[in-house]
Amino acid sequence: MKRTRRQWVTLGLAAVLLASLCVLAAFWQWHRYTDRQAQIDLVETNYTAAPEPLSAFVTGPGDTLAPEDVWRPAEVTGEYVPESTVLLRNRPVGGTPGFHLLVPLRTELDGQETVLVVDRGFVPLGADATEPALVPEPPSGEVTVTVTLRADEPASDRGAPSGTVVRINTDQVLDQGPEGGAWADGTTVGAYGQLRDEDPAAAETPVALPRPDTDPGSHLSYTFQWAIFALGAVGGYVLLWRRETRAATVTAGELLAADDPGGTSRPRRERRRRVDEDYEDALVDAAQHQARDTSSA
């Protein structure tokens, strides 16, 4: 059945709407791809750089880490405060559940006492799954630590058991220590470090943290898929319209040609065959009458 003008308009609007949504999804995936690629470029540039003193990135208490310095290695000399160790929850490594050990490191920047939280590594769960299997002690006394610098994570509004946190936010980490964070007031910076190396080394160390993930993901392929879907929506409408329009303009000659591939009319050929048969029957009847007349004479 031939579609009405209203039906064609409705189908056209639906095709345009579907194509528009697909284009929006394609642009969203493209922006996610470019953002992810920028993060990967920053990691690949900074993570392999040569370590520099911590003072090259934060100058003293109250300073924050610049975005372009994230993932940079830094060296800092100071003393750990092991009695203020806090556990980071819900941050598995290699698919293994456990805790990260967050230990404050007291140092000095530009003549001012400064505290930097150091993520010393990962420890698996213990037997009851609420405590770590072990908590290795950091080196005592003065130690030179090489860390990967990270910006403070946003403070969490979720509750956590005493002595644990769900995000690495310096103020929250220090507050969860056994003595609270008052002892470090006015000495912190807006950054933390992921341990790479300690000198002298500890007698027992937690599991080292893995290199940052640089997998670009599937955002680029999703971008192309959504673009193809948008083209398919418009192309499908055009194809349907052309097929129906062409079907409505087929001529009688095209129908006869489709019915008779030889280019002749089958009904006409059948009528000619019947005429020929009638003529032959008439000739036979005439011959039989003539034979009977001859025999009677």
pLDDT tens digit at each of 297 positions of the chain: 678 888 889 999 999 999 999 999 999 999 999 999 999 999 999 999 999 999 999 999 999 999 999 999 999 999 999 999 999 999 999 889 999 999 999 999 989 999 999 999 999 998 877 889 889 999 999 999 999 999 999 999 888 888 999 999 999 999 999 889 999 999 999 999 999 999 999 999 999 999 999 999 999 999 999 999 999 999 999 998 888 887 655 555 555 555 555 555 455 555 556 655 665 665 556 556 555 555 554
Q: What pLDDT, on a 0 to 100 scale, did the predictor assign at position 215?
A: 92
Instruction: Give the C-alpha distances (Å, rounded to integers) separating 223 from 31, 33, 190, 216, 219.
Output: 9, 9, 36, 13, 6
Q: What pLDDT, on a 0 to 100 scale, did the predictor assign at position 166?
A: 95
Cross-strand pairs, 192:
117, 150
> Of 9, 27, 35, 74, which Cα lies nearest the Cα of 217?
35
- The half-sphere exposure of 243 on its side-chain side, counting CA atoms within 13 A, is 7
Q: What pLDDT, on a 0 to 100 scale, did the predictor assign at position 283?
A: 59
Q: What pLDDT, on a 0 to 100 scale, did the predictor assign at position 103?
A: 97
Per residue in 25-47, pLDDT (tens digit) is 999 999 999 999 999 999 999 99
The radius of gyration computed from the CA coordinates of the chain, to the nearest angstrom, equals 42
CA distance 193 to 178: 21
> Of 63, 54, 56, which Cα lies nearest the Cα of 190?
63
Neighbouring C-beta atoms of residue 194, cutoff 10 Å:
20
Please state the pTM of the whole predicted model.
0.74
Q: How far apart are the first and last CA of the chain?
A: 73
DSSP-assigned letters across all residues of 115-141: EEEEEEEEEEB-TTSSSBS--PPPPPS
Question: 């048969």: which residue's tokens?
Answer: 277
Q: What pLDDT, on a 0 to 100 scale, did the predictor assign at position 179?
A: 87
What is the bridge-based pairing of β-strands 52-53 and 164-165? unpaired
**Which sign does the torsion angle of CA 219, 224, 225, 227 carry?**
positive
CA distance 293 to 231: 87
Residue 109 has phi, psi (to 5 degrees) of: -125, 120
Q: What pLDDT, on a 0 to 100 scale, did the predictor assign at position 274?
A: 60
> Of 103, 114, 102, which Cα lies nearest the Cα of 54?
114
